[in-house]
Amino acid sequence: MFDGFEDERIDVGEVELRVRHAGHGLPVLLIHGHPRTGSTWHRVAPQLVDRGFTVVCPDMRGYGQSGKAKILADHSQQSKRVVAADMVQLMDELGHTTFATVGHDRGSYVALRLALDHPDAVSRLVVIDGVPISEALARCDAKFAHDWYHWFFFAQPDKPERAIAADPDAWYASKARPESMGAENYQEFRHAIHDAATVRAMLEDYRAGLGVDRAHEEADRRDGRTVRCPTLFLWSTRDDMEDLYGDPLAVWRPWAADLRGHSIESGHHVAEENPDDLTAALHHFLS
Protein backbone atom coordinates (compact mmCIF):
# COMPACT_ATOMS: atom_id res chain seq x y z
CA MET A 1 0.00 0.00 0.00
CA PHE A 2 0.95 3.64 -0.55
CA ASP A 3 4.06 2.94 -2.60
CA GLY A 4 6.10 6.14 -2.75
CA PHE A 5 4.28 7.80 0.17
CA GLU A 6 5.99 9.14 3.27
CA ASP A 7 4.71 7.45 6.44
CA GLU A 8 5.23 9.67 9.47
CA ARG A 9 4.07 10.50 12.99
CA ILE A 10 3.50 14.25 13.33
CA ASP A 11 2.95 16.08 16.61
CA VAL A 12 -0.11 18.34 16.38
CA GLY A 13 -0.15 19.39 20.03
CA GLU A 14 -2.23 17.10 22.22
CA VAL A 15 -1.57 13.97 20.15
CA GLU A 16 0.65 12.60 17.40
CA LEU A 17 -1.04 11.65 14.15
CA ARG A 18 0.05 8.82 11.90
CA VAL A 19 -0.04 10.21 8.34
CA ARG A 20 0.86 9.06 4.84
CA HIS A 21 1.45 11.73 2.21
CA ALA A 22 2.86 12.12 -1.29
CA GLY A 23 2.63 14.16 -4.46
CA HIS A 24 3.05 17.65 -5.84
CA GLY A 25 0.25 20.02 -6.65
CA LEU A 26 -3.07 21.00 -5.06
CA PRO A 27 -3.13 19.50 -1.53
CA VAL A 28 -6.04 17.20 -0.72
CA LEU A 29 -6.76 15.92 2.79
CA LEU A 30 -8.56 12.55 2.88
CA ILE A 31 -10.34 11.78 6.18
CA HIS A 32 -11.50 8.23 6.84
CA GLY A 33 -14.56 6.97 8.71
CA HIS A 34 -15.39 4.38 11.38
CA PRO A 35 -13.97 1.81 11.96
CA ARG A 36 -11.36 2.32 9.24
CA THR A 37 -7.99 4.07 9.28
CA GLY A 38 -6.24 6.23 6.70
CA SER A 39 -5.42 3.04 4.82
CA THR A 40 -9.01 2.89 3.53
CA TRP A 41 -7.84 5.37 0.84
CA HIS A 42 -5.04 3.11 -0.45
CA ARG A 43 -6.70 2.62 -3.86
CA VAL A 44 -7.70 6.28 -4.30
CA ALA A 45 -4.69 8.20 -2.96
CA PRO A 46 -2.12 6.93 -5.51
CA GLN A 47 -4.51 7.67 -8.37
CA LEU A 48 -4.91 11.25 -7.15
CA VAL A 49 -1.14 11.61 -6.91
CA ASP A 50 -0.84 10.34 -10.48
CA ARG A 51 -3.35 13.01 -11.50
CA GLY A 52 -1.21 15.78 -10.06
CA PHE A 53 -2.43 16.24 -6.49
CA THR A 54 -0.60 16.25 -3.17
CA VAL A 55 -2.47 13.73 -1.02
CA VAL A 56 -2.51 13.51 2.79
CA CYS A 57 -4.09 10.48 4.52
CA PRO A 58 -4.00 10.66 8.33
CA ASP A 59 -5.45 8.40 10.97
CA MET A 60 -7.76 10.66 12.98
CA ARG A 61 -6.87 11.09 16.64
CA GLY A 62 -8.05 8.03 18.52
CA TYR A 63 -8.17 5.89 15.39
CA GLY A 64 -5.60 3.50 13.98
CA GLN A 65 -2.04 4.31 15.01
CA SER A 66 -2.67 7.95 15.97
CA GLY A 67 -2.52 9.12 19.57
CA LYS A 68 -5.34 8.78 22.07
CA ALA A 69 -6.29 11.83 24.13
CA LYS A 70 -7.30 11.82 27.79
CA ILE A 71 -11.04 11.19 28.00
CA LEU A 72 -13.09 14.11 29.31
CA ALA A 73 -16.47 14.00 30.99
CA ASP A 74 -18.22 15.63 28.01
CA HIS A 75 -16.21 13.57 25.49
CA SER A 76 -15.03 16.79 23.82
CA GLN A 77 -11.50 15.40 23.42
CA GLN A 78 -12.96 13.50 20.45
CA SER A 79 -15.25 16.28 19.20
CA LYS A 80 -15.20 17.08 15.51
CA ARG A 81 -14.06 20.61 16.41
CA VAL A 82 -10.94 19.27 18.14
CA VAL A 83 -10.25 16.69 15.43
CA ALA A 84 -10.64 19.39 12.77
CA ALA A 85 -8.12 21.56 14.63
CA ASP A 86 -5.71 18.59 14.56
CA MET A 87 -6.10 18.47 10.80
CA VAL A 88 -5.39 22.16 10.33
CA GLN A 89 -2.25 21.81 12.44
CA LEU A 90 -1.20 18.69 10.54
CA MET A 91 -1.59 20.37 7.17
CA ASP A 92 0.28 23.43 8.40
CA GLU A 93 3.14 21.21 9.59
CA LEU A 94 3.26 19.72 6.09
CA GLY A 95 3.36 23.21 4.55
CA HIS A 96 -0.26 23.48 3.37
CA THR A 97 -2.16 26.55 4.62
CA THR A 98 -5.07 25.97 2.22
CA PHE A 99 -6.27 22.61 0.96
CA ALA A 100 -9.24 20.64 -0.32
CA THR A 101 -10.89 18.36 2.22
CA VAL A 102 -12.61 15.02 1.61
CA GLY A 103 -14.38 13.16 4.44
CA HIS A 104 -16.18 9.81 4.45
CA ASP A 105 -18.62 8.54 7.10
CA ARG A 106 -17.46 9.90 10.50
CA GLY A 107 -14.76 11.76 8.61
CA SER A 108 -17.49 13.69 6.78
CA TYR A 109 -18.43 15.35 10.08
CA VAL A 110 -14.81 16.36 10.64
CA ALA A 111 -14.63 17.70 7.08
CA LEU A 112 -17.77 19.77 7.64
CA ARG A 113 -16.42 21.15 10.90
CA LEU A 114 -13.14 22.01 9.16
CA ALA A 115 -14.99 24.03 6.53
CA LEU A 116 -17.14 25.82 9.12
CA ASP A 117 -14.44 26.56 11.70
CA HIS A 118 -11.54 27.19 9.29
CA PRO A 119 -13.08 28.67 6.14
CA ASP A 120 -9.83 30.29 5.05
CA ALA A 121 -8.07 26.93 5.09
CA VAL A 122 -10.56 24.78 3.15
CA SER A 123 -10.68 25.56 -0.56
CA ARG A 124 -13.15 22.84 -1.54
CA LEU A 125 -15.20 20.37 0.50
CA VAL A 126 -16.29 16.83 -0.37
CA VAL A 127 -18.52 14.85 1.98
CA ILE A 128 -19.31 11.20 1.34
CA ASP A 129 -22.11 9.07 2.83
CA GLY A 130 -23.08 11.33 5.69
CA VAL A 131 -25.38 14.24 6.52
CA PRO A 132 -24.75 16.63 9.43
CA ILE A 133 -25.23 14.91 12.79
CA SER A 134 -27.87 17.40 13.89
CA GLU A 135 -29.84 16.81 10.69
CA ALA A 136 -29.76 13.03 11.15
CA LEU A 137 -30.94 13.34 14.76
CA ALA A 138 -33.67 15.84 13.88
CA ARG A 139 -35.06 13.30 11.39
CA CYS A 140 -34.64 10.30 13.70
CA ASP A 141 -37.60 7.97 13.39
CA ALA A 142 -38.20 4.28 14.10
CA LYS A 143 -36.33 3.25 10.94
CA PHE A 144 -33.28 5.32 11.81
CA ALA A 145 -33.31 4.07 15.41
CA HIS A 146 -33.53 0.47 14.18
CA ASP A 147 -30.95 0.68 11.38
CA TRP A 148 -28.54 3.07 13.14
CA TYR A 149 -29.00 1.73 16.67
CA HIS A 150 -25.22 1.72 17.10
CA TRP A 151 -25.23 5.54 17.41
CA PHE A 152 -27.20 5.19 20.64
CA PHE A 153 -25.60 1.99 21.89
CA PHE A 154 -22.08 3.37 21.40
CA ALA A 155 -23.05 6.41 23.46
CA GLN A 156 -23.67 4.28 26.55
CA PRO A 157 -20.89 3.99 29.15
CA ASP A 158 -18.73 0.86 29.31
CA LYS A 159 -21.13 -1.69 27.81
CA PRO A 160 -20.13 -1.18 24.18
CA GLU A 161 -16.45 -1.61 25.06
CA ARG A 162 -17.25 -4.89 26.81
CA ALA A 163 -19.41 -6.15 23.94
CA ILE A 164 -16.77 -5.38 21.29
CA ALA A 165 -13.85 -6.67 23.37
CA ALA A 166 -15.57 -10.04 23.74
CA ASP A 167 -15.04 -10.70 20.02
CA PRO A 168 -13.87 -7.75 17.87
CA ASP A 169 -13.94 -9.83 14.70
CA ALA A 170 -17.55 -10.84 15.25
CA TRP A 171 -18.50 -7.22 15.91
CA TYR A 172 -16.54 -5.48 13.15
CA ALA A 173 -14.89 -7.91 10.78
CA SER A 174 -17.84 -10.12 9.85
CA LYS A 175 -18.66 -7.79 6.93
CA ALA A 176 -15.03 -6.97 6.08
CA ARG A 177 -13.05 -9.12 3.68
CA PRO A 178 -9.38 -8.96 2.67
CA GLU A 179 -10.43 -9.70 -0.92
CA SER A 180 -12.48 -6.49 -1.16
CA MET A 181 -10.43 -4.31 1.19
CA GLY A 182 -6.96 -5.41 0.12
CA ALA A 183 -4.86 -7.64 2.37
CA GLU A 184 -2.72 -4.92 3.98
CA ASN A 185 -5.68 -2.58 4.52
CA TYR A 186 -7.59 -5.46 6.12
CA GLN A 187 -4.72 -6.28 8.47
CA GLU A 188 -4.41 -2.63 9.52
CA PHE A 189 -8.15 -2.53 10.16
CA ARG A 190 -8.00 -5.72 12.25
CA HIS A 191 -5.07 -4.39 14.28
CA ALA A 192 -7.15 -1.31 15.10
CA ILE A 193 -10.29 -3.16 16.19
CA HIS A 194 -8.26 -5.46 18.45
CA ASP A 195 -6.69 -2.51 20.30
CA ALA A 196 -8.78 -1.62 23.35
CA ALA A 197 -7.61 2.01 23.45
CA THR A 198 -8.54 2.49 19.80
CA VAL A 199 -11.96 0.92 20.29
CA ARG A 200 -12.67 3.21 23.25
CA ALA A 201 -11.58 6.28 21.28
CA MET A 202 -13.79 5.29 18.35
CA LEU A 203 -16.72 5.00 20.74
CA GLU A 204 -15.84 8.41 22.16
CA ASP A 205 -16.33 9.75 18.62
CA TYR A 206 -20.00 8.68 18.84
CA ARG A 207 -20.41 9.96 22.38
CA ALA A 208 -19.15 13.35 21.29
CA GLY A 209 -21.48 13.17 18.29
CA LEU A 210 -24.67 12.99 20.32
CA GLY A 211 -23.51 15.76 22.67
CA VAL A 212 -21.00 18.48 21.90
CA ASP A 213 -20.96 17.90 18.13
CA ARG A 214 -24.72 18.21 17.87
CA ALA A 215 -24.60 21.36 20.00
CA HIS A 216 -21.93 22.89 17.78
CA GLU A 217 -23.99 22.25 14.65
CA GLU A 218 -27.15 23.64 16.19
CA ALA A 219 -25.22 26.78 17.15
CA ASP A 220 -24.05 27.06 13.52
CA ARG A 221 -27.65 26.98 12.30
CA ARG A 222 -28.82 29.57 14.84
CA ASP A 223 -25.95 31.86 13.85
CA GLY A 224 -26.50 31.35 10.12
CA ARG A 225 -23.02 29.91 9.62
CA THR A 226 -22.66 27.92 6.39
CA VAL A 227 -19.90 26.43 4.25
CA ARG A 228 -18.35 29.15 2.10
CA CYS A 229 -16.41 27.00 -0.37
CA PRO A 230 -17.72 24.86 -3.27
CA THR A 231 -19.11 21.63 -1.84
CA LEU A 232 -19.67 18.18 -3.35
CA PHE A 233 -21.83 15.50 -1.73
CA LEU A 234 -21.39 11.92 -2.92
CA TRP A 235 -23.39 8.95 -1.75
CA SER A 236 -23.19 5.21 -2.37
CA THR A 237 -26.10 3.62 -4.20
CA ARG A 238 -26.00 0.54 -1.96
CA ASP A 239 -25.84 2.55 1.26
CA ASP A 240 -28.99 4.00 2.85
CA MET A 241 -28.79 7.74 2.16
CA GLU A 242 -31.75 7.71 -0.24
CA ASP A 243 -33.76 5.30 1.93
CA LEU A 244 -33.38 7.59 4.92
CA TYR A 245 -33.60 11.02 3.30
CA GLY A 246 -35.09 10.69 -0.17
CA ASP A 247 -33.01 13.37 -1.85
CA PRO A 248 -29.95 13.65 0.40
CA LEU A 249 -28.84 16.80 -1.40
CA ALA A 250 -31.90 18.54 0.05
CA VAL A 251 -30.51 17.90 3.54
CA TRP A 252 -27.21 19.56 2.59
CA ARG A 253 -28.58 22.63 0.76
CA PRO A 254 -29.08 24.77 3.90
CA TRP A 255 -25.43 24.12 4.83
CA ALA A 256 -23.69 25.00 1.57
CA ALA A 257 -24.77 27.59 -1.00
CA ASP A 258 -22.47 26.23 -3.72
CA LEU A 259 -23.55 22.59 -3.61
CA ARG A 260 -23.55 19.82 -6.15
CA GLY A 261 -23.58 16.04 -5.90
CA HIS A 262 -24.46 12.64 -7.26
CA SER A 263 -24.45 8.97 -6.34
CA ILE A 264 -21.72 6.40 -7.03
CA GLU A 265 -22.44 2.73 -7.64
CA SER A 266 -20.99 1.14 -4.51
CA GLY A 267 -21.55 -0.15 -1.04
CA HIS A 268 -20.73 2.06 1.93
CA HIS A 269 -16.93 1.78 1.74
CA VAL A 270 -16.70 3.42 -1.66
CA ALA A 271 -12.96 4.14 -1.53
CA GLU A 272 -12.37 0.38 -1.32
CA GLU A 273 -15.26 -0.84 -3.48
CA ASN A 274 -15.28 1.63 -6.38
CA PRO A 275 -12.05 3.64 -6.19
CA ASP A 276 -11.95 4.42 -9.92
CA ASP A 277 -15.30 6.19 -10.06
CA LEU A 278 -14.62 7.95 -6.78
CA THR A 279 -11.23 9.15 -8.02
CA ALA A 280 -12.81 10.40 -11.24
CA ALA A 281 -15.46 12.34 -9.30
CA LEU A 282 -12.87 13.89 -7.00
CA HIS A 283 -10.59 14.80 -9.88
CA HIS A 284 -13.41 16.48 -11.81
CA PHE A 285 -14.54 18.52 -8.78
CA LEU A 286 -11.14 19.44 -7.38
CA SER A 287 -9.43 20.39 -10.64
Phi and psi at residue 258, in whole multiples of 5°? -100, 80
The tens digit of pLDDT for each residue in 135-158 reads 999 999 999 999 999 999 999 999
- Does a cis peptide bond (omega within 30 degrees of 0) precede residue 35? yes
Cα(36)–Cα(24) distance, rounded to whole angstroms? 26
Q: What is the mean pLDDT of residues 176-203?
A: 97
CA distances from 209 to 1, 78, 261 (A): 31, 9, 24
**pLDDT-based confidence at residue 175 (cuts at 50, 70, 90):** confident
Domain boundary assignment for the chain: 6-286
Nearest to 9 by CA among 66, 83, 55: 66
pLDDT at 244 over 90: yes
pLDDT of residue 54: 98
3-state secondary structure the chain: CCCCCEEEEEECCCCEEEEEEECCCCEEEEECCCCCCHHHHCCCHHHHHHCCCEEEEECCCCCCCCCCCCCCCCCHHHCHHHHHHHHHHHHHHCCCCCEEEEEECHHHHHHHHHHHHCCCCEEEEEEECCCCHHHHHHCCCHHHHHHCHHHHHHCCCCHHHHHHHHCHHHHHHHHCCHHHHCHHHHHHHHHHHCCHHHHHHHHHHHHHHHHHHHHHHHHHHHHCCCECCCEEEEEECCCCHHHHHCCHHHHHHHHECCEEEEEECCCCCHHHHCHHHHHHHHHHHHC
Cα(211)–Cα(78) distance, rounded to whole angstroms? 11
Global confidence as pTM: 0.98
Is domain 6-286 classified as CATH 3.40.50.1820?
Answer: yes
pLDDT at 173 over 90: no
Which residues are known to be catalytic? 105, 268
The tens digit of pLDDT for each residue in 34-64 reads 999 999 999 999 999 999 999 999 999 999 9
pLDDT of residue 150: 96
The tens digit of pLDDT for each residue in 87-123 reads 999 999 999 999 999 999 999 999 999 999 999 999 9
pLDDT of residue 133: 98
Q: What is the mean pLDDT of residues 69-75?
A: 98
Long-range Cβ contact pairs of 65-68 (< 8 A, separation 24 or more) = 65/9, 65/18, 65/37, 65/192, 66/15, 66/16, 66/17, 66/18, 67/14, 67/15, 67/16, 67/17, 68/15, 68/197, 68/198, 68/200, 68/201
Q: What is the mean pLDDT of residues 120-130?
A: 98
pLDDT of residue 174: 81
